[in-house]
Amino acid sequence: MEVNGDGTGSSTRPLKVIDEENLAVEIPETAHQISSDSWFQVGFVLTTGINSAYVLGYSGTIMVPLGWIPGVLGLIIATAISLYANSLIAKLHEFGGRRHIRYRDLAGFIYGRKAYSLTWGLQYVNLFMINTGYIILAGSALKDVYALFSDDHVMKLPYFIALSGFVCALFAMSIPHLSALRLWLGVSTVFSLIYIVVAFVLSVKDGIEAPARDYSIPGTTQSKIFTTIGASANLVFAFNTGMLPEIQATIKQPVVSNMMKSLYFQFTAGVFTNVCCDIYWILGLWIFDLNLFA
C-alpha cells in the first residue's frame, strides 16, 4: 500500500516519478523547483541561513552563561551533533521509495498522522519566531541608525519594526521559491561578511580600550541554572535550520551525496565558533554594554 506524507493510506496527490540508478523514486507534487540547484548553491543557502544577525549575540547568550571551558566544549559538541543529525535527515530524504521534500512528510511517513500534524505546527511556529526576531532586530538597527543622524525622536521603534516587516513581506512575495535566491545569496553573503567583519573589528577596538575583562559567570545559583538552560537551548538552535528537507529538495541528483557536500561546506566554511569565542575573549561580561546588532 502506498503511504501518504502524513502516514495514512493511499495518496490522492499527484506524484512525479523519476528513475535514479534504476530505482523509481516518487516526488510529491509541489510548486517549488525540484533538483535544480548545485550543491554549492545549497551550501550557501545553509551557510547564510545560520550566519545571520543572531551570530554575534551568541558570545553573550552562550559564552557568558557557560564560561570558557563549558562554552567552548558546548560549541564544539553542538557542531558535531548538529552535523550528525543533519546528515541523518539528509540520508533519509529518499526513503521508502519516495522523496520526502518537507519535514512533515518525513515525520508522517515514519511516525504517522499525529507526527505529521505536530511537525507541521512546530515547524511553522519555529519559522515564525525566527523571522519575527529578524524583523525586530532590523527595526532596532534602523532605529539606532536614525538616532545617529537625528535627535527629534519623531520616529519610534514600532515604526521601524513595521517598516522592516513591510520590506520583508515584499521580498518574500518577490521570491517564488528557494531556487530563485541565486543573486540574493551573493548579496546576502557580501553584506553578512561586511557586517560580521566590521562588528568584530569595532569590538576588538572597544575591547582593547575597555577595563580589565571579567569572565566570571554572573548571577545567583538559581539564575545560573536558568541561564545555563537557555544557553544550552541556543547551542541546539545555533547550527541548525528549520527546513533542511525543503532545502535538500532543490539540490541536483544524486540528492544524498550532493547534500552531504553542502553540509560539509556549512559546517566548515560556515561555522562561526571562532568569531563567537574571539568576541567573548576580547569583551568578557562587558559585551552586554554593546549593541552589536545595530
* Strand bridging mode 15-20 / 23-28: antiparallel
pLDDT at 67 over 90: no
Q: Is residue 2 part of a domain?
A: no
Whole-number pLDDT of residue 87:
92
- Say how far apart CA 20 and CA 245 lie, in whole Å: 18
Whether the per-residue pLDDT at 63 is higher than 70: the answer is: yes
Residue 15 lies in a domain: no
Q: Whole-angstrom Cα distance, residue 16 to residue 227?
A: 48
Q: What is the largest CA-CA distance in the chain?
A: 69
Helices (H) and strands (E) in the chain, counts: 12, 4
Which residue type sits at 97? G
- Ranked by mean pLDDT, which of 100-109, 127-136, 158-167, 190-199 comes out on top? 158-167
Q: What is the DSSP letter of 252?
A: P
Number of domains within the chain: 1
**Residue 60 — pLDDT band, cuts 50, 70, 90?**
confident
Q: Residue 244 pLDDT > 70, yes or no?
A: yes
Task: Find the domain containing 206 and state its range.
Answer: 34-93+103-289
In this structure, which amino acid lies at residue 183?
A: L
* pLDDT level of residue 160 (50, 70, 90 thresholds): very high
Answer whether residue 8 shows pLDDT above 60.
no
In a domain, 174, yes or no: yes
Residue 293 is predicted with a pLDDT of 47
- Judge whether 190 lies within some domain: yes
Alpha-carbon distance values, 213 to 55, 72, 125, 280, 286 (Å): 21, 18, 38, 9, 7
**Residue 251 main-chain phi, psi, to 5 deg:** -80, 150
Q: 149 or 59: whose pLDDT is higher?
A: 149
Question: What's the pLDDT at 33?
Answer: 67
- The pLDDT tens digits of the residues spanning 195-243 come to 777 777 776 776 677 666 667 777 788 888 888 898 888 888 778 777 8
Q: Is 118 part of a structural domain of the chain?
A: yes
Residue 9 inside a domain? The answer is no
pLDDT digits 0-9 by tens, 71-105:
888 888 888 898 899 999 999 888 877 888 888 88
Q: Is residue 98 part of a domain?
A: no
Euclidean distance between the first and the last CA atom of the chain, given in angstroms as a whole number: 55
Going by their DSSP bridges, the two strands 94-95 and 23-28 should be labelled as unpaired
What DSSP state is assigned to residue 279?
A: H
- DSSP conformational letter for 55: G
pLDDT at 221: 85
The answer to whether residue 209 is domain-embedded is yes
Task: With cut-offs at 50, 70 and 90, classify the pLDDT of residue 26.
Answer: low
Q: What is the pLDDT of residue 30?
A: 64
In this structure, how many other beta carbons lie within 10 angstroms of the beta carbon of residue 214? 12
